[in-house]
Structure 1
Amino acid sequence: MKVSSFDVNLSTREIQVRGTSVPVGSRAFDILAVLMAAHGQVVSIEDILRKVWPDTVVEESNIRVQVCALRKALGEDRRLIQNIPGRGYRLTPKSETPAARAGIPLLGE
């Protein structure tokens, strides 16, 4: 599945940025898959915790750490993962990121 300048293969759990394979941890990949499945809608912190860590009790800080790793892996496309304060996260098409257009740094950067 193509998202901006990166490709995500859900079956092989691989991310390629501009044709180069980029390693990410399994939890970070799981978060990306959850955000992709939401098709641009906000995914609540609770939903991410429930889907990525279904049988484990973890703190919200784990999400921030994994999102930070994802953003680092995505490089120029890091702004596609948006933090929506008080609500959760979303993966948005590049053309819809007001922070990217305004040059505003995202939380976790």
Structure 2
Amino acid sequence: MMVTSIDVNLSTREIQVRGMSVPVGSRAFDILAVLMAARGQVVSIEDILRKVWPDTVVEESNIRVQVCALRKALGEDRRLIQNIPGRGYRLTPKSDMPAARTGIPLLAE
């Protein structure tokens, strides 16, 4: 799979795909940040709910809606976010994703 340049800036909460700013909602961005922090490991539905909606009772369908929004924003690279049936979600690991910093590029190899 050829992955285009995606840059995620955690401090400004901004995503750029191929140099263009792509708007996403705050919950969708929070899910992306949680998946990035897991560095390719599967994040359970329960962990996502606890981290993204810490003081609110929501249904799992909320995660699906937000992941759908993220995939739409990523366009051609929507497959970077994988659903692992019965377990949760993960951000497809690239060959050594960069360490967390202000801007985190996800680049094609």
TM-score class, shorter: 0.7 to 0.9
* CA-CA distance at 1:5 after TM superposition: 1.8
Unaligned 5+ residue runs, structure 1? Answer: none
* Change over 3 Å in CA distance of 1:108–1:5 after alignment to 2: closer
Report the count of equivalent residues.
Answer: 109
| Comparing 95-104 and 1-10, the one that deviates more | 95-104
Take 2:105 and 2:6, find their aligned partners in 1: how far apart are those partners? 20
Residue 93 of structure 1 and its aligned partner are, at CA, apart by 3.3
Show structure 2 runs of 5+ residues with no match.
none
Q: Which has the higher contact order (CA 8 A, sep 6+)?
A: 2
- Name the CA distance, whole Å, in 1 between partners of 2:99 and 2:33: 22
Moved more, 23-32 or 92-101: 92-101
Normalising by structure 2, report the TM-score. Answer: 0.82
**Change over 3 Å in CA distance of 1:69–1:98 after alignment to 2:** same
How many Å apart are 1:50 and its aligned residue?
0.1
Q: Cα distance 1:18–1:103, how it changes in 2: closer, same or farther (>3 A)?
A: closer
Tell me the C-alpha RMSD between the 2 structures. Answer: 8.4
- Asked if 2 retains the 8 angstrom alpha-carbon contact of 1:79 and 1:100, the reply is no
Per-residue CA deviation, residues 47-101 of structure 1 (Å, 9 max, x unaligned), is: 0000000000000000000000000000011000000000000001368999999
Q: Which runs of 4+ in 1 moved over 3 A?
A: 1-4, 93-109
